[in-house]
Amino acid sequence: MSLAVIEPPYLPPTPAPSPPPAVAITPCDPWPRPYFLSDGLRRVAPYHYTYNTNCKQRWRGRGILEIFQDEFRDRPVEYYQEAIASGAIQLNGKPVPAPTTTVKNGDIISHTLHRHEPPVTGTPIGVVHEDNDMLVIDKPAGVPVHPAGRYNYNSVIEILRAERGHQWNPLPCNRLDRLTSGVMFIAKHRAAADELTKQIMGRTVRKEYIARVKGEFPEGDLVCEQPILQISPKLGLNRVRANGKEARTVFRRLAYFPSPMPDKEGYSIVRALPLTGRTHQIRVHLQFLGHPITNDPIYSNRSVFGSSLGRASATDSDDEDIITRLSRMGKDEVADAVAYHDEMVEDYNKKKAEKMTGEKCDICGTELYSDPGGHELGIYLHARRYACSEGKWGYETDMPPWAVGPKGEVVGIPPADDLVAKVEELKLGIEEGKAKEKVAPVP
């Protein structure tokens, strides 16, 4: 039996692989997180990151450059033009043909950049209660709950994940503004999150806040029932409007401290019990009443709202001017909030505020911000207590350190307190009124 020599088939040489794309198309996930502490602040070392965002309804049919210019204010339009041209911004994993390319439903926008997160307070997240289902924390002011905007790892859920392990999946159940401190519920599993969320949505959870406000707040119980409308999602601006969503807050003054200087106003410590849960509800209602939170960078900002600070304002006649002035805050100007006239805030804080320094990152050319001043890390609004209306559970924190008089006078909740009972009566009356409206005969 003879053997035949079989020549192997000719295979053309394999072409050299294409070079990798100039930008990453999947998010990186550094572990451990690049935190470090200095000057009392929690900082994050800059890192490369890719945002992958599904097309939002309000983006449909709009040009991609227009979307970035209108929705993301931390960088100038020239940056986004260059990012589109260089491929740092992609559409469905591919380079964008032109800045005017329209985005449609189902599209995914990717944006890879060298990320610079703002520092937040180095104050640890306090633990109020913990069991197998729920972690109740005392959130420090100035730390956002979820990654959003310029914040990613400097957020409550990412800080907790860094402390408890990469696989730990915190599930926040209630929402606090970034600048607000106080009681927050972090569920450890979905069933616990769903149960508490159901209670909050069903308005069977009593919420109590403490605020420090401008001027002499009226004595007695004050109920504000002004509806609230979102004016600018980009700037986080909300105002009282007749066509807004139903909103109701009950206020009671705890103390008033006049200013020792005749040309300056004093301040009040106030309890606030919101019966609804609109964004910035307490802050907007206090502004409308003429007693904004003293260091609120939005609603107590003279440079934005003028000397009246938006008191009793419920029309849209000045919305465009306010949006324009507010958009400049933190870029070219320092917010001229009423807080700078507060007796307990030192004068130098007005100059020591977060704004662009004029310097740029050596790697990406991003314009750099200075560190925030201590007065910018939070506002005088604290979620002191959350409790089940049926009395099954309740969690509270101590009074915040700023809820004191100019000489350290202690402010507390009176032992014989009837405010919660009055709020329950008010809620019952509202529910009965709505029930009667539903069954009222047609005239």
Catalytic positions, written as ranges: 177
Which residue, 138, 233, 118, is CA-closest to 184? 138
Contact 138, 164 (CB under 8 A): no
Q: Which two tokens stand for residue 287?
A: 């502004």
